[in-house]
Amino acid sequence: MSARHFLSLMDCTPQELHALIRRGIELKELRERGVLFEPLKNRILGMIFEKASTRTRLSFEAGMIQLGGQAIFLSPRDTQLGRGEPLSDTAIVMSRMLDAVMIRTYSHSTLTEFAAHSSVPVINGLSDDLHPCQVLADMMTYQEHRGSIAGKTVAWVGDGNNMCNTYIEAAIQFDFQLKVACPDGFCPSARLLELAGDRVQITRDPVEAVRGAQLVSTDVWASMGQEEEAENRLKRFRPYQVSPALLDQAASDVVFMHCLPAHRGEEISEDLLDDPRSIAWDQAENRLHAQKALLEFLVEPALRA
């Protein structure tokens, strides 16, 4: 199977990731100028969502339509996947009808197994381990607001979850230092920490993590699939709330990002998204533009007859 997949930021070279961000910014400008750009006419993206979504579904669906193609939403509940049809068979069949497949799932191995049997590109729309489309948009958003992130310091405060793991990959690929403040027992992937070496430091102290940071990011304390742990997590993560006062301890040009959805009063204070240092709404919008660049990169345009 020769298709190019995007299951992780490590599936692209740093040069390719920078090109995707540049292209995302160009596509955003084209859309703002009202220019019609439809290179993916007659192309179809299948989207399998095992978990809920607002931004990921909207940005992929709107993005495909804007590029001249279409997207089809598939819930495992309503397909044979939910009744036990093997993933490998599903991948083969979907590859015969579609031009790319986006999957939001629990186990990352669902993505790797599907990709192994898919002859069209497979895109990770979030797994328990990684959320590369989100961090691609985050990197584009930082670039737009502050220029290159290379050599900067980024702080991740809270759960060492799929977003935090992806920030570790971003630290490697985009060449920045990452400081992670998380409670004991909620650290990011040991494999990724080893891969990142001294680019990533772990601390228990949020103030220490944000000191000197030019970007501070956080995420919910209980991710999708961890609903039963939510109460215990609420207690463990209480000291890790990000607030304007915490941002005051960071660099003077700091920006704040949150992949959303946010729980005000938990991982962020009630007022943080209204703080002028928060760029979370631009970050959410950039899912659309960054993923359009990704779709353009991965999906072959249709040949003219």
From the CB of 73, what's the least distance to ligand NVA, in Å?
17
Residue whose CB is less far from ligand NVA, 202 or 224:
224
Contact code string over 148-167 relative to ligand NVA, x by CB under 6 A? -------------xxx----
Cα 218 to Cα 186: distance, rounded to the nearest angstrom? 14
- The 10 Å CB-count burial string (b at 16+, else e) for 185-206 is ebebbeebbeebeeebbbeeeb
Phi, psi (deg, nearest 5) at residue 154:
-120, 140
Choose the contact partner of 163 out of ligand NVA, ligand CP, none; CB within 5 to 8 A by kind.
Answer: ligand NVA
Contact code string over 115-134 relative to ligand NVA, x by CB under 6 A? -----------x--------
Cα 75 to Cα 102: distance, rounded to the nearest angstrom? 12
Q: Which of residues 68-127 bind ligand CP (CB under 6 A)?
A: 126
From the CB of 259, what's the least distance to ligand NVA, in Å?
5
Choose, by CB under 6 A, the member of 260, 262, 273, 302 that binds ligand CP.
Answer: 260
Known catalytic membership, residue 287: yes
Alpha helices in the chain (DSSP H): 14-32, 55-66, 87-97, 108-117, 132-146, 162-174, 190-196, 206-210, 230-237, 244-247, 280-298
DSSP string, 274-286: GSTTB-HHHHHHH
Exposed / middle / buried, residue 54 (Cβ in 10 Å: 0-12, 13-18, 19+): exposed
Q: Report the residue closest to ligand NVA, judged by CB.
A: 223
Cα 266 to Cα 158: distance, rounded to the nearest angstrom? 10
**Residue 162 within binding range of ligand CP, rule CB under 6 A:** no
**Residue 224 within binding range of ligand NVA, rule CB under 6 A:** yes
Known catalytic membership, residue 12: no
Q: Per CB under 6 A, which region of 48-56, 110-118, 173-181, 182-190 contacts ligand CP?
A: 48-56
β-pairing, 100-104 vs 70-74, is unpaired
Known catalytic membership, residue 164: no
From the CB of 252, what's the least distance to ligand CP, in Å?
28
β-pairing, 122-124 vs 100-104, is parallel
Choose the contact partner of 54 out of ligand CP, ligand NVA, none; CB within 5 to 8 A by kind.
Answer: ligand CP
**H or E stretch covering 262:** none
**Residue 259 within binding range of ligand CP, rule CB under 6 A:** yes
Known catalytic membership, residue 134: yes
Active site residues: 104, 131, 134, 219, 259, 287
